[in-house]
């Protein structure tokens, strides 16, 4: 079994269900924080010792940021923050009633995880994938319980975003949808249900926008900050497409585009050369200290630069 972090929760009349999170990356840690602060015991599983080892500190940093921004944990009554268990073994999720899969956006990886979860979890456990683009029907086919598989597309950073895109496949049962909505409501999230399709609503539209914004930058039409300024000031976006891509992670953007191209056959989803170059250079956004913009420290959540602080195009394009 993995090691526990935090004290035991205060006893309650009906103990909150254990929630599993697969993946200790940015999204997995954020999702774990949401459930832990709502009083659910959480088990985070990741085979990468570096991700697992840094997980507790990154979780504490996320909690600190949320408090600084005035986001109070949503808890039932006097329920304390629940314990988080860190493990490298999916078998440690055998008692979880709700598992959120937050692995990388690569179908073979998700297939291996879902097949093993199907073998170790009880028949009532819901598998909620935080997939960005892979159809939930496809993910459900990797299990013997497609009725218990659903998409829960949390936005990044998960603790600060109140809405979750919930993807219902044709085989997803009414009970699974109901239970998912109840789990989300219990952590202060509003689930918006959409039908299954590659990229669903969010990323079917967003990934094209990010890809085209990178193409505009690469062609020299405008520098990165100007592209983002137009979206902020003309359309009212909190941040422009290039800062959004840096926040998501350019490697995740490229993986999502590849999945969309594979499942739709639409060549518009082919990653633009600039995106491919940046990922090849290891410049995948905030988490690595640089993407379309430089960041002082990897993973730092800093305010978006103003137009006056924009980075010259040559620096963002080629580093």
Which residues participate in catalysis according to the annotation? Answer: 132, 153, 165, 203
Rounded-to-integer distance, Cα 170 and Cα 133, Å: 16
Q: According to DSSP H, which parts of the chain are helical? A: 26-37, 49-68, 107-120, 136-140, 174-186, 202-218, 224-235, 241-248, 250-264, 273-280, 313-318
Query: Is the distance from CB of 21 to CB of 30 less than 8 angstroms?
Result: no
Helix (H, G, I), strand (E, B) or coil at 85: strand
Residue among 13, 11, 7, 36 at smallest CA distance from 188: 36
Give Cβ neighbours of residue 191 (< 8 Å, ≥ 6 apart).
Answer: 152, 163, 164, 165, 166, 180, 181, 184, 185
Give Cβ neighbours of residue 71 (< 8 Å, ≥ 6 apart).
Answer: 159, 160
For residue 294, the 8-state DSSP code is B
Query: Is the distance from CB of 112 to CB of 77 less than 8 angstroms?
Result: no
Give Cβ neighbours of residue 64 (< 8 Å, ≥ 6 apart).
Answer: none
The token duo for 163 is: 């809405």
**Rounded to the nearest 5°, which phi and psi values hold at 133?**
-145, -20
């Amino acid at each position: 079994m993995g090691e526990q972090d935090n004290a035991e929760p205060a006893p309650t009349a009906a103990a909150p269900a254990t929630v599993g999170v697969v993946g200790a990356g940015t999204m997995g840690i954020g999702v774990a924080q949401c459930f832990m602060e709502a009083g659910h015991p959480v088990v985070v599983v990741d085979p990468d010792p570096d991700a697992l080892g840094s997980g507790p500190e990154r979780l504490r940093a996320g909690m600190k940021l949320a408090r600084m921004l005035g986001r109070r944990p949503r808890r039932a009554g006097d329920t304390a923050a629940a314990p988080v268990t860190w493990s490298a073994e999916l078998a440690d999720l055998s008692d979880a009633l709700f598992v959120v899969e937050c692995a990388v956006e690569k179908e073979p990886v998700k297939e291996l995880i879902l097949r093993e979860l199907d073998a170790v979890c009880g028949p009532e456990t819901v598998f909620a994938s935080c997939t960005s683009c892979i159809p939930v029907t496809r993910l459900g086919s990797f299990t013997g319980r497609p009725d218990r598989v659903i998409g829960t597309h949390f936005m990044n950073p998960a603790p600060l975003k109140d809405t979750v895109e919930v993807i219902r496949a044709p085989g997803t049962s009414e009970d699974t949808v109901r239970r998912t909505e109840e789990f989300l409501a219990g952590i202060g999230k509003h689930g918006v249900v959409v039908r299954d399709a590659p990229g669903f609503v969010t990323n079917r539209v967003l990934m094209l926008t990010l890809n085209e914004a990178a193409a505009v930058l690469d062609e020299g039409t405008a520098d990165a900050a100007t592209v983002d300024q137009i979206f902020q000031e003309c359309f009212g976006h909190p941040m422009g497409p290039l800062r959004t891509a840096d926040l998501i992670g350019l490697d995740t953007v490229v993986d999502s585009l590849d999945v969309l191209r594979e499942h739709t056959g639409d060549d518009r989803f082919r990653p633009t050369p600039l995106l491919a170059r940046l990922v090849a250079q290891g410049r995948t956004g905030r988490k690595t200290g640089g993407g379309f913009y430089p960041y002082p420290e990897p993973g730092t959540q800093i305010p978006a630069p103003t137009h006056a602080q924009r980075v010259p195009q040559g620096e963002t394009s080629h580093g």
